[in-house]
Amino acid sequence: MIITVWGLDAFSVIDRIAVKVAPGRPPTYTAAHVLKALEVIGSGSGVGRQQLSRELGLGEGMARTLVRRLRGEGLVEVHRSGMVLLPSGVKLLSGFRARMASTEAPETGVTVGSRNYAVLVKGAAGCIRRGVEQRDAALIAGAKGATTLLYDGVRFHMPGMYGELDPHLTCFLIDRLKPEAGDIVIIGTADDLPAAEMGAKTAALELLREIAGSAA
């Protein structure tokens, strides 16, 4: 399934926002930051640049660049009271939310960092090999790694392993993310929550990009 907005591939939209477009240093934000920005701005009216900068872990100058590009794509509007999503921004965010869900996750023995963030990707189990690709994507994004879990409708297990997962983690993920058989959960892990979140979302977006490419 290809996520579209106004008939365009959603990845082409977020990639245009994240790509280098002029001489000089490239942006220090990624597609995962673009998605997070849409989530923050869409969470309520009156989100300002300083708040966005804090929540994304970006400097204010880079946050301004990101906002300028979001405006250039017709996704957000800036008022004195703050930023709001335009209909195209709402549609783009809704498209990703239809395929993903996310939450901060508790400490667990299946990850290596002290802070964890979980992202569910719907119907992606058939695209998972050993979870190495998700781990590597999270590492490149600045996390300490990522753990991929497959859900069979009753329990979670890691690729190639069928042992029982920590029941407390299982109950937490089922309660927060409402998985269905064939869904997967990527838990990004780091020593701080923003890095864990960016790691998990980067891995999830790369997986969705792979699914979209195979469906094209």
Q: Which of 14-23, 141-150, 170-179 has the lowest mean pLDDT?
A: 14-23
Same domain, 110 and 186: yes
Residue 92's SS3 state is helix
φ, ψ (nearest 5 deg) of residue 151: -115, 125
Q: Return the structure tokens found at 78.
A: 């800036």
The pLDDT value given to residue 1: 47
| CATH assignment of the domain containing 76 | 1.10.10.10
Same domain, 85 and 131: no
Q: How far apart are CA 215 and CA 191, in angstroms?
A: 36
Spell out the alpha helix ranges (H) of the chain: 10-18, 31-42, 49-56, 60-72, 87-97, 132-140, 167-177, 193-215
Same domain, 86 and 119: no
Question: Higher-confidence residue: 213 or 167?
Answer: 167
Same domain, 63 and 119: no
Number of structural domains (the chain) is 2
Confidence of residue 165 (pLDDT cuts 50, 70, 90): confident
For the chain, what is the mean pLDDT?
A: 89
- Prediction pTM value: 0.91
Each residue of 1-29: pLDDT tens digit? Answer: 456 544 458 888 998 898 855 455 545 78
* Domain end call among 66, 95, 124: 95
Same domain, 111 and 158: yes
Check residue 30 and report its DSSP letter: -
Asked whether the beta carbons of 121 and 184 are under 8 A apart, the reply is yes
Domain residue limits at 58: 4-95
Query: What is the b/e burial string over 31-46, where b = at least 16 CB atoms within 10 angstroms of the residue's CB?
Result: bbbbbbbbbbbbeeee
**Separation of CA 77 from chain center:** 22
Confidence of residue 89 (pLDDT cuts 50, 70, 90): very high
